Amino acid sequence: MNPELILSLLVLGLATGAIYALIALGYTMVYGIIELINFAHGDIFMIGTLLSLTMMNVFGINASAPPKVFTFDLIWKLAIGCLACFLICAVLGVVIERLAYRPLRNAPRLAPLISAIGVSLILQDGGKLWKGISDIPFPSIPLGFVTVGSVRINFVDILVIILALVLMLALQFLVTRTRMGKAMRAVAQDRDAAALMGVNVNQIISLTFFIGAGLAGAAAFIYSIRFSTTKFTIGYELGLIAFTCAVLGGIGNIVGAMLGGLVIGLVGAFVSLIPPSVLPNGGDAWRNAVIFAILILILVFRPSGILGQQVPEKV
Amino acid sequence: MSVSMTPRLLAPGRDLRALLVKWIVALLVPVAIFTFVWNGEVTFNDLWLTLLSQSKKLLYRDPVVLVQVGIFMLVLYATTMLLAGYLVAADSGRRSNWEIWADVFFYVVVPILLIVLVNHLLIGLGLSVAVFAIYAFVRGRVVKLLNYIPPSPREDIQVFDAAQRRVVISKGKIGGFWFSTILALIWVLADVAFFLAGAAVFSENSLWIWVGLRTVLFPVLGYLLGWVGGWVAARLTLSENGNGGAASNGNGNGRKVGRLRRLQQLSSARIAEEARNLVPNDLPLQSRGAWRFYLILLIVFALFYPALDRALFGSGTAGRLSGYGDLGYYVILALGLNIVVGFAGLLDLGYVAFFVIGTYSWALVGSDQLTALTSIVINPQVLPWLFWPMLIVSALIAALWGVLLGAPTLRLRGDYLAIVTLGFGEIIPIVFLQLEKVTNGSIGIAGIAAPATPSLPPLIPAIEWSSFNPTPFYYLIMALIIFTIFTNVRLRDSRLGRAWIAIREDEIAASSSGINLVRTKLFAFGAGAFFSGIAGAYHAAKLGTVTPKDFSTTDSYMFLAMVVIGGIGSIPGVILGAIVVYSLNVLIIPQLDGMAGDPQNFLHFIRDILPAFRFQYVRNLVFGLLLVCIMIFRPEGLIPSARRRRELHRTAEEAPEVGTLDSVPGTPGFEQEVRVE
């Protein structure tokens, strides 16, 4: 097999995997703390991609006239754009939690889940209203590339991977080393006991949504640098894949989500190697089917994921 | 009920007069609106004229249609007379007139007016559901604001003797008689007014025979039908000899267990439910007796609808009927999903997968694709007949897939299950899209055969099954819906259904009580998928073509919205949910777009402000908002199932009584009182 192809697929897989992992973190954090699959999370990511497009337009980076050469000016613009995306999406996540999930905190399990589906539909159509139903192109950012053998490795890919890693490390630090992180872990373990110990549970849940949605926003900005188009349905598709990553790694487990993201990213990249003789039309057409098949297999054979522990159900 | 003397027909007492006024007003308003505002009178006049004279340009040339419309009109008026009798007999008279009138106005008159106004059955119904929701909300607020406590029906459960039951029956007679007499008088007055205004119909002299006949016949008919209504009400009383007229339940010892005894054994919440069906009660409009009459009306309406449509809504019948055929499979899908989500509490977000499987089952067999795939050649004369066995086979195939896909997910808890089924909903359309050799890929399968029915020329006419003639499909889907509803009700009340509900409430407790979780859940998946298979086969046969583009994963959300909006686990609720979602999705939103596109319309300003805006784009937004709002404000849905209503409002009904404890904490009396053995 062609080693250059494998190398380029590897880079592609790691870059997409890093983005998946960032989205998966939001799922896993929210699930860990209130045991809710936040169906709207993928759509927050989608709103984030649309937002980053607006950011770039604000900074004068247009799809019609993309910058020709790389300048240091650009780095600042990108950094500010990423931060703004993080904050706006984070606030959106908190607002959603406040309006759609908090009133249902003590309702039967199905209720917040259905409410989450409703929010997801609302956000999707919001995106549709905002930017229309067709594919929206991102401006390409000229970050340059290195050549390894005959393979071109874009700096964008490396930047994406590094950015994602930095964010994940920051999150890991926040959760394991700070007071706030301790409170979050306490709420995840036992909400009532945490409340008795003086933890403001509502505040911590809001914080979780803030960080999770913010990471989705950052992921969206990174996505808009790396990939060429977005669409209002992208949140649904990527959200489902990211959820698969979260489950693969062990839901509720932050390191697991990162690991799951990378694995699924690589699988998604290498699926295209499957020849049309095995699957009609080649592996690319079946990518989502393969990923969901993996999801189902994990859930059937190891529902706790790679790093998760089997938790006995509370009675 | 202190009256034991049988009331007189012509001079009823003061109490009875108040009841008569209440119910005659409540019933006359909708009937009069139907008769004089809508097409009731015109239809009846035309019917009469067609029967007696051949001269006019008449609505009903076809005798079959004539008979159907005639039967419907007769049943309509007869049922209202029965209702008049029943309601007067069954009402306890404790609810104020205005409360009942407001209910009737918002739940009956408003829908009729809206349907007449928009001249479309489903758009009118869809809009009136919005009115219902607003009314229910405002009503709740007003009741709270005024601190109004409606009389609770469980307080006056009492045993009736034979004399009291005779009073109930005679009240029915009186109610029916006065209602129909007043209706007949109003109708005569209206006819005279039309005559004086010079309406063309009255040039036919034979019409006056009809007017005279009607005026004489109505009171007599009303008396007799009111009698029947009163008799129905009397059957629902608690009577001395056991069981309210019906055969008494004997148990092993041959001891009679009366209804009173049974009621006493029920929980207090159940008593409130059951007492609603006893006579007299405070809400006779919602009692089981009244529901019988509504059902008669509904069934007759649905049965004769294809004939009635032209009389009620004018031209364009074929398009509307075809639309109702589509609505029908929405209803079946919603009912099927209700088994999984509503009864068993398993959130299935990939329900569209089974629908796709059902659709392709008939599409592959009922078209040339079968020959192309297997080189089996079926005589084209025989092929349409295969639809009937294939209807069952597609359902079974879908059920099999339901079980197959359900099996691996059994170990999962609710929310994982949702994701996995979502994944299936995503995979299956991809599979059908990519397996080009079998399914033709994105081109899809065309030329799917429609079903065929036997014909025996003089007796049974040949029926033309084609997409140009939607009437047979209308009747087919009606039959399928009735089958689905019947099966759903029987399933719900069966041992299996109770097991589903037990699992929904508490899986661990259910399994500890000996319910086999695996088998029960698999049955739920299989049964749910079975109905989507039926709907799929019907869909393929009606449309004639299938492409993977017709199905998207968001359809699963739409099906879920039907179940949630209507009321999770409630069969009538789910049907209403399907109607609401269908009318929003297929009728109201395109209608709004059409209005916005028309420069003459007042909605056109939207195009001026936002040129790219289409109402279609916000379809999911509307569903999403509905889902969130329903979950937060009315989690039991529009028509909640009895069980769910009890569950969600238990705390409100059984608030702890003030002063339950007689002693102050800390005293010996207190210790004694609260001590647990």
| Contact assignment for B434 to A280 by CB distance below 8 Å | yes
The nearest CA of chain B is from the CA of A177 a distance in Å of 30
Nearest-by-Cβ selection for B427 from A113, A122, A292: A292
Residue position matching structure tokens 């007042």: B602
Burial of B177 (0-12, 13-18, 19+ CB in 10 A): buried
Residue A225: which of A65, A73, A79 has the closest Cα?
A79
Query: Could you tell me which chain B residue has the CA closest to the CA of A111?
Result: B631
Q: Is A276 on the interface with B (CB under 8 A)?
A: no
CB-CB neighbors (< 8 A) of B408 in chain A = 296, 299-300
CB-CB neighbors (< 8 A) of B422 in chain A = 240
CB atoms within 10 A of CB B79: 21
Chosen for mutation from B412, B413, B419 (greatest number of chain A CBs closer than 10 Å) is B419
CA–CA separation, B415 and A35 (whole Å): 9
What pLDDT, on a 0 to 100 scale, did the predictor assign at position B369? 79
What pLDDT, on a 0 to 100 scale, did the predictor assign at position B672? 56
| Contact assignment for B624 to A132 by CB distance below 8 Å | no
Looking at the DSSP bridge assignments, the partners of residue B257 are B249
Q: Is A290 on the interface with B (CB under 8 A)?
A: no
CA–CA separation, B78 and B221 (whole Å): 8
CA–CA separation, B356 and B551 (whole Å): 7
What pLDDT, on a 0 to 100 scale, did the predictor assign at position B648? 62
| Contact assignment for B415 to A100 by CB distance below 8 Å | no
Q: Is A272 on the interface with B (CB under 8 A)?
A: no
Torsion of CA B189, B194, B197, B201, to 10 degrees: -150
Query: Could you tell me which chain A residue has the CA closest to the CA of B420?
Result: A296
| Contact assignment for B411 to A289 by CB distance below 8 Å | no
Instruction: Using 70 as the pLDDT threshold, list the residues of chain B that sit under it.
Output: 1-5, 53-61, 152-156, 201, 240-259, 267-269, 413-414, 646-677
The values of phi and psi at residue B570, to 5°, are -105, 120
The nearest CA of chain A is from the CA of B398 a distance in Å of 19
Q: How far is CA B110 from the centre of its chain?
A: 17
Sequential DSSP letters for A189-240: H-HHHHHHTT--HHHHHHHHHHHHHHHHHHHHHHHHHH-SEE-TTHHHHHHH
CB atoms within 10 A of CB B468: 8
Chosen for mutation from A39, A101, A279, A296 (greatest number of chain B CBs closer than 10 Å) is A296
CB-CB neighbors (< 8 A) of B606 in chain A = none
CA–CA separation, B471 and B453 (whole Å): 13
Cβ contact A260:A67 at 8 Å: no
Residue position matching structure tokens 């522990």: A309
Cβ contact B244:B238 at 8 Å: yes
Chain A, residues 233-262, CB within 8 A of chain B, namely 236, 240, 243-244, 247
| Contact assignment for A112 to B631 by CB distance below 8 Å | yes
CA–CA separation, A222 and B312 (whole Å): 60
| Interacting residues of B138 by C-beta distance below 8 A, sequence separation 6+ | none
Inter-CA distances, B552 with A285, B15, B355, Å = 16, 60, 11
| Contact assignment for A114 to B431 by CB distance below 8 Å | no
What's the DSSP call for residue A307? T
Q: Is A100 on the interface with B (CB under 8 A)?
A: yes
| Contact assignment for A240 to B568 by CB distance below 8 Å | no
Nearest-by-Cβ selection for B631 from A111, A129, A303: A111
What pLDDT, on a 0 to 100 scale, did the predictor assign at position B57? 55
Inter-CA distances, B346 with A34, A300, B419, Å = 19, 16, 11
Inter-CA distances, B339 with B405, B505, B525, B571, B581, Å = 16, 14, 8, 9, 18
Q: Which tens digits make up the pLDDT trace of A104-161?
A: 988 887 888 889 999 999 999 999 888 888 888 888 777 777 777 777 788 888 888 8
Chosen for mutation from A96, A115, A240 (greatest number of chain B CBs closer than 10 Å) is A115
What does the block give as tokens for B527? 């049964």
What pLDDT, on a 0 to 100 scale, did the predictor assign at position B654? 45
What pLDDT, on a 0 to 100 scale, did the predictor assign at position B647? 67
CA–CA separation, B538 and B328 (whole Å): 10
CB-CB neighbors (< 8 A) of B416 in chain A = 247, 299, 303
CA–CA separation, A14 and A262 (whole Å): 6
For chains A and B, count residue pairs whose Cβ atoms are closer than 8 Å.
139
Cβ contact A122:A226 at 8 Å: no
CA–CA separation, B7 and B368 (whole Å): 73
Residue position matching structure tokens 């049955």: B523
What does the block give as tokens for A296? 């189902």
What pLDDT, on a 0 to 100 scale, did the predictor assign at position B397? 95
Nearest-by-Cβ selection for A292 from B414, B426, B632: B426
What pLDDT, on a 0 to 100 scale, did the predictor assign at position A251? 80
What pLDDT, on a 0 to 100 scale, did the predictor assign at position B53? 64
Residue position matching structure tokens 């079959």: B64
Looking at the DSSP bridge assignments, the partners of residue A154 are A145
Asked if pLDDT for residue A97 goes beyond 80, the answer is yes
CA–CA separation, B165 and B239 (whole Å): 8
What pLDDT, on a 0 to 100 scale, did the predictor assign at position B152? 67
| Contact assignment for B423 to A295 by CB distance below 8 Å | yes
Cβ contact A257:B394 at 8 Å: no
| Contact assignment for B627 to A109 by CB distance below 8 Å | no
Q: Which tens digits make up the pLDDT trace of A211-264?
A: 999 999 999 998 988 888 888 888 888 888 898 888 888 887 888 888 899 899
| Interacting residues of B493 by C-beta distance below 8 A, sequence separation 6+ | none
CA–CA separation, A26 and A21 (whole Å): 9
Q: How far is CA A201 from the centre of its chain?
A: 25
What does the block give as tokens for B171? 């009240």
Task: Identify the residue with better confidence: B519 or A305.
Answer: B519
